[in-house]
């Protein structure tokens, strides 16, 4: 096997220092006809500058409405190995840690039933098993689920939640991102596997405002760790940074967005009341500064890519929530939001778009969230606001 | 076929705890600080005094099972059988003793792995499926990433930048990879609406679901032709209709290409998170190495390197100097397409008399 198709354009991408995806496909092609024909079809795409995939009927595993992305070649006669090339989204463990034993097991199943190609990971955070035939979907699912693996979300469902490495290996994490993500994922198995929403819903959990998981940009609900109270300062370590050549005035004090720090050459002062917890000083002086004592999360809602009405980033709906098991306050909030979305959301309308369409004040009122200045950058500029019955004197 | 094992449903992912290296499990939530020791190499220190050294390597994201088994061999040999992946698809090997770092790095280098990506540099490029697996792709993703990183690899492995520069590639405007908040991102764009193959459509597609597939309501039934029609001024070339109805192909090799957007970030550090904004509306697809695209990214990066201040992200740099100066420093042409006429347009117009010449 291996050289069924000539692939001069792709071969060029085996040169150069960065690891090559073409080499990966060729490795798989040594033992997989899927991968062989994928090479052939991809070469054709490179030559013609056009994709050769099409969407087909809905495929999946019994009892689930999600977890499989159906894919068919539009040139199946030429490349029968990829006539069907469906992808399984396998729910990754929180934090993307693996034992080699577990990874090898997944590989074994995938070598037996699929292309031998994966994405570690897809953009949402699933283990992507890239390419198999319809009749292999059930066997792959049986083999994987009997070993403790389940499928992730796709379609109008809860998508596989994901998180930053959090407390497993980051000193800045204000919340246990991995535990929270694991809990959310298990809490919403039905909502994940049986799409019943107007559209997709993503959770992403970051331990601090640095947001290594990009939750503010790509989760319908972004859970971002934060704190209350004073940043803990170790003045000796601050001096050590200065002694090691850091220009504390220029690199820390002057870059603080709120202008709440000062440095007289021996003592660093922070006016914590003015700090907005941006993480700059803490990240640049990890040994000297640590987040304040009372930990929790800010909950933000609504981000999405530009389609259809423009990109949104999530915005604050709960300034501070303790995120401790069993997360009752959190789940209660999610349920209320979903109920509202379910009631008013149009087909393919993300929660952020719905709030834009019906208004943020209406959302707050009907979902039962008290307004707070942290929710806005500034109050409205116009005088066109409404009152409800109870505000009017009769 | 052999008997299959009993399937289970709704079991969710396995618990992460069984996958944690012992030193991580023991010190979970008890880390006090970390230090970057090199471009792909850092140490975290716990309250207990324990340390974990992490070595990060690049990955093309698309991995064969053979490669996964190979990295498992390395992790078995050096890391007690554990490893992890990062959000940006890097691979991380962790060891609990300094003496284990050297042999690990040596083997990784010998096997051709690229160590780096930590700190103020370019990390792995977040990207989507492209021609490898998606039907709406206006360009390939893996190919562009490979071409780009071959050019910029030194910023992964050794050279310092003023701050992190996050690159991303999405192969169509659906932007699966959240490229809308990256320092420099490339997004595949179609320039022409789908073509309706009326003859085939009649037999192949269900008209109501085709009409419903369009997010902008550009599609309506065409009873005369027993087909559909598209209101051209409403179509935003998203390709959704093609997902539902294969008789509405949108791919157009001559006109499909990529746009480049810049200045986004998700971190709240110093400045608020920012969207990426349009720098170049269209560049052609020229596989296998997309030279125009690679050149353009290089040009933007070089201007940033020459002019930005320490710790300044691309977006912060541009906010400081102003977009008019950005176009000047990068020598990019400002076109009609740069002026926004979409949902948030008026927020972007300059309502002040102050700007730079
Ligand atoms: C109407 C709009 C959209 C359509 C038709 C669409 C379609 C698709 C399809 C077909 C795939 C599968 C690609 C493949 O594996 O072959 C995909 C993947 C994905 N989509 Fe979308 N998408 C849309 C909008 C979005 C938006 C707005 C986001 C994010 C905010 C998003 C996030 C993702 C992610 C994360 C993946 C996984 C991609 C990867 O791992 O490479 N999609 N989308
Ligand atoms: C309930 C709605 C509003 C009320 C009651 C109101 C009332 C007033 C009043 C009393 C003045 C001063 C007139 C004078 O100089 O004698 C004024 C001036 C003005 N208003 Fe309004 N206004 C309203 C809404 C708006 C809105 C929505 C805008 C624009 C978006 C606006 C723009 C202006 C401008 C430009 C001036 C002139 C200011 C100046 O002389 O510098 N107003 N308005
Ligand atoms: C504990 C180890 C880590 C530390 C100390 C750390 C530190 C940082 C810092 C300081 C930044 C902000 C840089 C800046 O804006 O100037 C950052 C950004 C980022 N980190 Fe990490 N990081 C760690 C682990 C990770 C991991 C494991 C991932 C991925 C899985 C990751 C993904 C990211 C991403 C995607 C960004 C960019 C956010 C943006 O685009 O604004 N980081 N990290
Ligand atoms: S988001 Fe914050 S807590 Fe999470 S890994 Fe990044 S820096 Fe650490
Ligand atoms: S966290 Fe940000 S706002 Fe707060 S003191 Fe540090 S730099 Fe200033
Ligand atoms: S960005 Fe577009 S073309 Fe690329 S994988 Fe996502 S939907 Fe497909
Ligand atoms: S490409 Fe998108 S916007 Fe255009 S007609 Fe099709 S579904 Fe509608």
Average pLDDT, chain A: 95
- Rounded-to-integer distance, Cα B91 and Cα B55, Å: 8
Residue A263 lies in a domain: yes
CB < 8 Å to A310, chain B: 342-344
Residue B75 forms contact with A (CB below 8 Å): yes
Verify that A237 and A179 share a domain, yes or no: no
A268 DSSP 8-state letter: E
Give me the mean pLDDT over the B258-265 stretch.
96
Verify that A114 and A212 share a domain, yes or no: no
Residue A254 lies in a domain: yes
**B69 CA to chain A: closest CA distance, Å?**
6
The predicted-structure confidence for B118-129, as pLDDT tens digits, reads as follows 999 999 999 999
Measured in degrees and rounded to the nearest 5, phi and psi for residue A86 equal: -80, 150
- Of the residues A57, A114, A123, the best mutation for testing chain B's interface (the one with the most B CB atoms within 10 Å of its CB) is A123
Residue A349 lies in a domain: yes
Confidence band for B296, pLDDT divided at 50, 70 and 90: very high
- Rounded-to-integer distance, Cα A56 and Cα B245, Å: 9
Does B189 have pLDDT greater than 70?
Answer: yes
b/e map of A155-189 (b: 16 or more CB within 10 Å)? Answer: bbbbbbbbbbbbbbbbbbbbbbbbbbbbbbbbbbb
The predicted-structure confidence for A239-257, as pLDDT tens digits, reads as follows 999 999 999 999 999 999 9
> How far apart are the CA of B235 and the centre of ligand 4, in A?
40
Domain CATH code at residue A284 = 3.30.70.20
A306 and B271: CB-CB below 8 Å?
A: no
Verify that A170 and A317 share a domain, yes or no: yes
> How far apart are the CA of A232 and the centre of ligand 5, in A?
12
**B88 CA to chain A: closest CA distance, Å?**
9
Residue B201 zone, left/alpha/beta (φ > 0; ψ -120 to 50; rest)? alpha
A71 and B9: CB-CB below 8 Å?
A: no
Verify that A122 and A40 share a domain, yes or no: yes
- For ligand 1, is residue A304 a contact (CB within 6 Å)? yes
pLDDT of residue A57: 65
The predicted-structure confidence for A33-85, as pLDDT tens digits, reads as follows 999 999 999 999 999 999 999 876 679 999 999 999 999 999 999 999 999 99
Cα–Cα distances in angstroms (integers) from residue B164 to residues A111, A275, B90, B142, B266, in the given order: 37, 23, 15, 21, 12
Give me the mean pLDDT over the A126-144 stretch.
97
Residue A327 lies in a domain: yes
Does A315 have pLDDT greater than 80?
Answer: yes
Residue A311 lies in a domain: yes
Give me the mean pLDDT over the A190-218 stretch.
96
- For ligand 4, is residue A216 a contact (CB within 6 Å)? no
- For ligand 4, is residue A208 a contact (CB within 6 Å)? yes
- For ligand 1, is residue B320 a contact (CB within 6 Å)? no
The predicted-structure confidence for B144-153, as pLDDT tens digits, reads as follows 999 999 999 9
CB < 8 Å to A146, chain B: 5-8
Verify that A219 and A322 share a domain, yes or no: yes
Residue A154 lies in a domain: no
Question: Rounded to two decimals, what is the model's pTM?
Answer: 0.87
Counting from 1 in the atom list of ligand 7, the atom nearest the Cα of B194 is 1
Is residue A272 within 8 Å of A260, Cβ to Cβ?
yes
Verify that A223 and A261 share a domain, yes or no: no
Verify that A265 and A368 share a domain, yes or no: no
Verify that A195 and A141 share a domain, yes or no: no
Q: Is B350 helix (H, G, I), strand (E, B) or coil?
A: coil
- Rounded-to-integer distance, Cα A384 and Cα A74, Å: 54
The parent domain of residue A15 ranges over: 8-146
Is residue B244 within 8 Å of B125, Cβ to Cβ?
no
Residue A49 zone, left/alpha/beta (φ > 0; ψ -120 to 50; rest)? left
- Rounded-to-integer distance, Cα B328 and Cα A116, Å: 48
Q: Considering A290, A310, A326, which residue would you say is the last residue of a domain?
A: A290
Verify that A60 and A168 share a domain, yes or no: no
Give me the mean pLDDT over the B14-41 stretch.
97
Residue A2 lies in a domain: no
Structure tokens at A181: 């993500």
Residues 274-333 of A with CB under 8 A from B: 277-280, 283-284, 286-287, 290, 305-311, 313
Counting from 1 in the atom list of ligand 2, the atom nearest the Cα of A382 is 27
Verify that A135 and A203 share a domain, yes or no: no
Confidence band for B2, pLDDT divided at 50, 70 and 90: low
- Of the residues A32, A214, A354, the best mutation for testing chain B's interface (the one with the most B CB atoms within 10 Å of its CB) is A214
B271 DSSP 8-state letter: S
Q: Are strands A162-163 and A232-233 parallel, antiparallel or unpaired?
A: unpaired
Q: Considering A146, A171, A194, which residue would you say is the last residue of a domain?
A: A146
Is residue B139 within 8 Å of B256, Cβ to Cβ?
yes
Domain CATH code at residue A336 = 3.30.413.10
Confidence band for B240, pLDDT divided at 50, 70 and 90: confident
Does A318 have pLDDT greater than 60?
Answer: yes
pLDDT of residue B320: 97
Q: What is the CA radius of gyration of chain A?
A: 25
Nearest to B94 by CA among B45, B47, B24: B24
Ligand with the closest atom to the CA of A291:
5
Measured in degrees and rounded to the nearest 5, phi and psi for residue B9 equal: -125, 155
- In total, how many domains does chain A have? 3
- For ligand 6, is residue B137 a contact (CB within 6 Å)? yes
Residue A151 lies in a domain: no
Q: Is the dihedral of CA A173, B71, B67, A143 positive or negative?
A: negative
pLDDT of residue A56: 63
Is residue A352 within 8 Å of A337, Cβ to Cβ?
no
Verify that A43 and A73 share a domain, yes or no: yes
Is residue A120 within 8 Å of A76, Cβ to Cβ?
no
Verify that A275 and A301 share a domain, yes or no: no
CB < 8 Å to B136, chain A: 51
The predicted-structure confidence for B51-63, as pLDDT tens digits, reads as follows 999 999 999 999 9
Does B177 have pLDDT greater than 70?
Answer: no
- For ligand 1, is residue A87 a contact (CB within 6 Å)? yes
Confidence band for B344, pLDDT divided at 50, 70 and 90: confident
Q: Considering A116, A146, A176, which residue would you say is the last residue of a domain?
A: A146
Share of chain B above pLDDT 70, in %: 99
């Amino acid at each position: 096997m291996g050289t069924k198709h000539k692939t001069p354009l792709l071969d060029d991408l085996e040169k150069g220092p960065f690891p090559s995806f073409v080499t990966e496909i060729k490795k798989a092609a040594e033992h997989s006809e899927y991968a062989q024909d994928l090479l052939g079809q991809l070469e054709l795409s490179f030559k013609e500058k056009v994709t050769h995939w099409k969407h087909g009927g809905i495929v999946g595993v019994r009892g689930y409405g999600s977890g499989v992305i159906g894919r068919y070649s539009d040139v199946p006669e030429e490349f029968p190995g990829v006539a069907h090339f469906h992808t399984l989204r396998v729910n990754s463990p929180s934090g993307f840690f693996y034992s080699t034993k577990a990874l090898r097991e997944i590989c074994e199943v995938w070598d037996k039933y699929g292309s031998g190609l994966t994405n570690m990971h897809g953009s949402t955070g699933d283990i992507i098993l890239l390419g198999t035939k319809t009749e292999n979907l059930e066997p792959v699912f049986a083999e994987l689920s009997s070993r403790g693996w389940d499928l992730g979300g796709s379609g109008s469902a809860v998508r596989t939640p994901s998180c930053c490495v959090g407390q497993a290996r980051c000193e800045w994490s204000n919340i246990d991102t991995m535990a929270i993500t694991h809990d959310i994922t298990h809490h919403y198995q039905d909502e994940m596997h049986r799409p019943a929403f107007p559209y997709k819903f993503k959770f992403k959990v970051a331990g601090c405002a640095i947001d290594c998981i990009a939750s503010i940009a790509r989760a319908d609900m972004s859970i971002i760790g934060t704190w209350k109270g004073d940043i803990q300062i170790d003045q000796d370590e601050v001096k050590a940074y200065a002694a090691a050549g850091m220009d504390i005035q220029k690199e820390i004090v002057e870059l603080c967005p709120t202008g709440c720090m000062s440095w007289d050459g021996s003592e660093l002062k922070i006016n914590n009341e003015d700090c907005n917890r941006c993480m700059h000083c803490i990240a640049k002086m990890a040994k000297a500064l640590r987040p304040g004592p009372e930990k929790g999360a800010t909950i933000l809602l609504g981000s999405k890519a530009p389609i259809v009405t423009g990109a949104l980033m999530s915005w604050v709906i709960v300034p501070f929530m303790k995120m401790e098991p069993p997360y009752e306050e959190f789940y209660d909030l999610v349920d209320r939001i979903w109920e509202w979305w379910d009631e008013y959301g149009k087909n393919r309308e993300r929660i952020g778009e719905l709030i834009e369409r019906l208004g943020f004040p209406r959302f707050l009122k009907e979902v039962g969230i008290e307004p707070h200045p942290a929710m806005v950058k500034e109050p409205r500029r116009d005088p066109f606001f409404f009152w409800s019955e109870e505000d009017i004197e009769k | 076929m052999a008997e299959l094992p009993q399937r289970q449903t709704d079991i969710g992912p396995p618990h992460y705890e069984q996958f944690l290296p012992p030193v991580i499990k023991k010190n979970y939530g008890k880390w006090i600080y970390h230090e970057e020791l090199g471009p792909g190499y850092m140490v975290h220190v716990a309250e207990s005094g324990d340390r974990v050294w992490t070595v990060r390597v690049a990955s093309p994201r698309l991995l064969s099972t053979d490669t996964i088994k190979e990295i498992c061999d390395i992790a078995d040999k050096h890391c007690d059988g554990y490893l992890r992946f990062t959000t940006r698809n890097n691979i991380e090997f962790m060891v609990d003793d300094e003496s284990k770092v050297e042999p690990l790095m040596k083997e990784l280098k010998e096997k051709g792995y690229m160590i780096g990506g930590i700190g103020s540099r370019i990390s792995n490029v977040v990207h989507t499926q492209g021609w490898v697996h998606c039907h709406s792709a206006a360009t390939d993703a893996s190919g562009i990433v490979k071409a780009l990183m071959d050019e910029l690899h030194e910023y992964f492995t050794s050279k310092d930048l003023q701050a992190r520069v996050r690159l991303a590639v999405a192969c169509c405007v659906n932007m699966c990879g959240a490229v809308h908040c990256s320092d420099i991102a490339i997004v595949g764009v179609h320039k022409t609406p789908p073509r309706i193959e009326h003859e085939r459509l009649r037999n192949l597609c269900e008209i109501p679901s085709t009409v419903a597939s369009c997010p902008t309501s550009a599609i309506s039934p065409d009873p005369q032709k027993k087909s559909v029609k598209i209101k051209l001024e409403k179509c935003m070339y998203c390709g959704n209709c093609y997902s539902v109805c294969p008789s509405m192909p949108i791919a157009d090799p001559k006109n499909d290409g990529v746009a480049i957007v810049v200045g986004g970030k998700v971190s709240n550090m110093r400045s608020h998170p920012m969207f990426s904004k349009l720098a170049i509306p269209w560049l052609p697809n020229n596989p296998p190495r997309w030279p125009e695209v690679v050149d353009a990214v290089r040009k933007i990066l070089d201007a940033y390197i020459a002019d930005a201040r320490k710790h300044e992200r691309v977006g912060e740099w541009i906010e400081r100097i102003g977009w008019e100066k950005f176009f000047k420093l990068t020598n990019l042409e400002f076109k009609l397409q740069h002026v926004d006429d979409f949902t948030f347009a008026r927020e972007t117009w300059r309502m002040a008399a102050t700007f730079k010449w």
